[in-house]
Structure 1
Amino acid sequence: MSSFSPKRLPRVRALLERLVESGLAPGLVAVLARHGEVHVEATGSLAFQGPGSRTPMAGDTIVRMASMTKPIVAACAMTLVEDCTLRLDDPVDEFLPELAGMRVLADPAGPLDDTVPAARPITLRDLLAFTLGTGMVLDESPIAAARNTLGEPPLDEWVSRLGALPLVHQPGERWMYETGADVTGALIQRATGKPFGEALRERVFDPLGMKDTAFSVLPENLSRFATAYVAGDAPTVDDAPDGMWSSPPAFEGGGGGLVSTADDFYAFATALHSGGGAILSRPSVTLMTSDHLTPAQKAVSGFWPGYFSDVSWAFGMNVRTRRTHIGPSVGTYGCPGLYGTAWYNDPAEDLTSVIIMQRAHAGDQRLPLWNDIWTTVYQAIAD
C-alpha cells in the first residue's frame, strides 16, 4: 500500500504550480517522505529573469537556508556532547571567557551602565535552548541599538564584542531568538580548535553526504544557486547568485548563514528522523527534539503574546505541543527560514517534509500560504 494517496498527492504539485503562477517565487521544491517512500516535486525556475529563468528548480538547487541553519548547529554541538568534549550544564566560560562574569541590565529598556551581576554562568544548554539571556531585540532600547553595532566580523571578534555588552535578562529567565545559535558556533570553533565551517563539515556534512551545504557557494556551483527576492508584489532581487554567498564570509553565522539544497537537507532530516543516522545516537536526537522551555519561560517569551501556545523550543528548532490544523502532529520538530524554506519531521505520522523557495519573509508560518501547504501535504497521507 502506498504511503500517500495516489488521488490526493498530485494536489501538492498543483499547489506549488499555483504559487509559482501567483508570482510568489520563480520556483519551489517540496520533498515528502513517509514509510521509506520519497516524492520530490519541483516546479518553476531559479530566477524571474536572466540565465536562472531558464534553469528549472530541482532537488540540487542551492538556496539560502537562513534559520534552518540553527538545527544543524545544534546537532553539531550534540556530537561534541556525545564525545564528552562539552557538557550541557557546564559553563561556557572555559572556551568562551568573553562571556564569563556577565552583567545583566537592571531594566531591559534602560541604560547600558545600569546593571546587576548575572546570577549564574551561561551553559551550553542555555545556548541551545536560547535562554542565555540575550538575543534578538525588536524595539528602540539602548541594548537594541548597541546590538546593532556588533556587525559580522570573524567569530572570535564577534564574541568579544558581544561579551562587552550586558545581557538583557538573567540566564535561564526567558527565551530570546537567534544569538544562542551564533554563540554555539563560536563555542564549537573553540572546542574543536577548527574553523566553525570546517567542524560542521567534518561532523555533519561529510558523514551525511551533504556536499552542497556550506557558508558560501563554490564558483563552479553558482549556476545552481537560486536568486532571492524581497517581500512584496514586485520581483525585486534581494540577493543574486554573485552576491553575499558567492565568497566565504568573515562571519560564519550559526543563526542563519548556511546555503544548502533540498537533497542535502533531506539527508539531515532523515538522519534525525531515523534516530541519528551517521552523526548522533537516538538518545541525543530524543533530547534535542524535546521541549526545553518551562511554563514560566513560555509565559514571558516569544515574538508576540501567545507565541508559545502551540509550539515550544527544542535545541535549535521548534517542537509542536498542540495540533491545531490539518497539519503537524504534537511532537513534530523542525523550523522555517527567512526566505521561505521550511523543514519538519513528524514522528507520529512518520513524515518528513522539506519545502524550498527564495522569497524574503515567506517563511513566516502565519502566512495563509503555509496553511495551504501543510493542509495539502497532510491530506495526501494515505492511511
Structure 2
Amino acid sequence: MGRYVDEGKLAGILTVVARRGQIAHFETCGMMDVEAGKPMQPDTIFRIYSMSKPITSVAVMMLYEEGDFHLTDPISRYIPEFEETKVFVEKTETGLELADLERPVTIRDLLTHTSGLAYGIGDPSYVDALYEKQIWEVGRQRPETTLEEMVWRIAALPLAHQPGSAWRYSMATDVLGYLVQVVSGMPFEAYLQQRIFEPLGMVDTDFYVPQGKGERFAALYGPAKGGGLERLDVQGVMAFDKPTRRPSGGGGLVSTASDYMRFSQMLLNKGELDGTRLLGRKTVELMTMNHLPDGLHPSEDQSAGFGLGFSVVTDVARSQSLGSVGRYGWGGAANTRFWIDPQEEMIGLLMLQFMPGGYYPVAEDFNVAVYQAIVE
C-alpha cells in the first residue's frame, strides 16, 4: 500500500485487519497533513462520510428491536411531510409532471436505498438537480438549517422512481437519522452518543472535531492538475470544526480506526462487544442479508446485493476480486472503506482522506493484499 504514498498519489494511509477477534495488522504510512509535516498516527481522526450510514442503520434497528416501529411501516407515519410526496415523471414546458405513489415509502425502503429519494451529487438527472438546489445549495447558504428542516425539504421534492422499483443511492439515511430523533425523543446526535458510541467505547466518533482533538484531524486531498496532491477546502455544507444543527446520518461523522474497528467487531460478533450488546444476533443476520429483489443491484457487475445499511457480496466470481459470499460493508467519499467477512471471521479497514472516491484502485489493492495472506 505504501507505493501510493511513495509515488505521491496519496498523502497517507492507515490499514487494519482483524481476524478471529484479534488485530492481525495495524499500520500507518505517510502523512496525515503534508503541509504541517504531521505523520499519519494510529489515532488520526478521519472524515468517514458515508461510513456513517451503517452506524445510523444500527441505531434504527435498535429502535426496531424495542418495538417502536415495523420495517414495513410508511415513513409518513412518523414524518407526516412524506404523506404528500409524489414521483417525478418528466419536466414539461408548463412545469413538472408528477405521479402519485403506487405504495408508500417504507422504513425498509430507506434502509435498502430503494425509496426513490435521490442525492444530488454526481448524477445528471433532473431530480438530482433539484436536490442540489434545494438541499445542498441551501445547506451551504444557511448553515443554521436544522436536521428537521432538511428532511422537510427532502419530503417536498419528488421521488426519482416508484418505491421499491429500483436501487438508487440517496439521502435516505439522513431521513433515517431524523426518524431516530422523532421516535426516540432524543436529538439524533445524543442518541448515537448515549446508545452506541459510549457503550462501545468509541471515544473519538462524533459530528465534529473538538478543539482539543484538532491536531489529530487529517487533511483532505485531491489530485492536482499538474500531478501530485492538492489540499481541498470542503467546509461548505459539512464543517467539522464545531457542532452542527444538521447532523447527517448519511455522511456527517468523523472517527478513528480504533473506534470503527470496535463498531465492526460488534457487528462481526452478531451485536455484542466486551459484554455490551447493542443488537440481537438475528437482527444482525437480517441486516446483513441481501434484501434486493432479482434484477436490482448496487453495482454494475451485479456481484452484490444490499441489506439494511450494507452492501452484501452475493457472487464472488462476478466481483472479479477476492472475498466471500456474505461479506458486507460500505465506504466513504474520501476513500475510507470497511468490510466484514463472517466466513473468515475477518474485518478489513482502510482509512485515508482523498477525493474523489475510486480515483485510484487502492481499496482493491488492499483487498487483494489481505486475502492473499490467508493461509488457514
TM-score (norm. length: structure 2): 0.89
Measured in 2, the distance between the counterparts of 1:140 and 1:35 equals 44
Whichever residue aligns with residue 340 of structure 1, its letter is N
What value does the CA root-mean-square deviation take over the aligned residues?
2.2
Counterpart residue number, 2:106: 123
Whichever residue aligns with residue 18 of structure 1, its letter is R
Task: Give runs of aligned pairs for residues 172-183 of structure 1, distance below 5 A.
Answer: 172-183=164-175
Once the two structures are overlaid, the 10-residue window that deviates more, 196-205 or 225-234, is 225-234
The answer to whether the 8 Å contact 1:212/1:261 transfers is: yes
The structure with more strand, counted as a fraction of residues: 2
**How far apart are 1:107 and its partner, in Å?**
3.6
Counterpart residue number, 2:6: 21
Q: Say yes or no: does 1:234 pair with 2:228.
A: yes
The answer to whether the 8 Å contact 2:288/2:312 transfers is: yes
> Closer, same or farther in 2 for the Cα pair 1:246/1:112, shift >3 Å?
farther
Counterpart residue number, 1:344: 339
Counterpart residue number, 1:3: none
Per-residue CA shift, 1:260-303, capped at 9, x if unaligned? 000000000000000101211111110111101111333xxx5x
The answer to whether the 8 Å contact 2:16/2:350 transfers is: yes
Counterpart residue number, 1:262: 257
Counterpart residue number, 1:247: 242
The answer to whether the 8 Å contact 1:134/1:179 transfers is: yes
Counterpart residue number, 1:211: 203
Measured in 1, the distance between the counterparts of 2:278 and 2:43 equals 22
- Report the secondary structure of 1:119's partner residue: coil
> Closer, same or farther in 2 for the Cα pair 1:355/1:79, shift >3 Å?
same
Counterpart residue number, 1:7: none
Per-residue CA shift, 1:217-253, capped at 9, x if unaligned? 0110001110011244332111489992111123211
The answer to whether the 8 Å contact 1:343/1:353 transfers is: yes
Measured in 1, the distance between the counterparts of 2:115 and 2:255 equals 28
The answer to whether the 8 Å contact 1:227/1:240 transfers is: no
The answer to whether the 8 Å contact 1:69/1:256 transfers is: yes
Once the two structures are overlaid, the 10-residue window that deviates more, 189-198 or 99-108, is 99-108
Whichever residue aligns with residue 41 of structure 1, its letter is E
TM-score (norm. length: structure 1): 0.87
Measured in 2, the distance between the counterparts of 1:36 and 1:253 equals 30
**How far apart are 1:31 and its partner, in Å?**
1.0
**How far apart are 1:72 and its partner, in Å?**
0.7
Q: Say yes or no: does 1:289 pair with 2:283.
A: no
- Report the secondary structure of 2:186's partner residue: coil
The answer to whether the 8 Å contact 2:264/2:347 transfers is: yes
Once the two structures are overlaid, the 10-residue window that deviates more, 315-324 or 264-273, is 315-324
Which segments of 5 or more consecutive residues in structure 1 lack a partner in the other structure?
Answer: 1-14
**Match 1:145 to one of 129, 135, 155:** 129
Measured in 2, the distance between the counterparts of 1:231 and 1:268 equals 31
Whichever residue aligns with residue 208 of structure 1, its letter is L
Q: Say yes or no: does 1:97 pair with 2:80.
A: yes
The answer to whether the 8 Å contact 2:73/2:106 transfers is: yes
Whichever residue aligns with residue 285 of structure 2, its letter is T
Counterpart residue number, 1:279: 278
> Closer, same or farther in 2 for the Cα pair 1:140/1:43, shift >3 Å?
closer
**Match 2:190 to one of 194, 198, 215:** 198
Whichever residue aligns with residue 284 of structure 1, its letter is T
**Match 2:45 to one of 59, 62, 65:** 62
- Report the secondary structure of 2:32's partner residue: coil
Counterpart residue number, 2:351: 356
Counterpart residue number, 1:45: 31
**How far apart are 1:112 and its partner, in Å?**
5.7
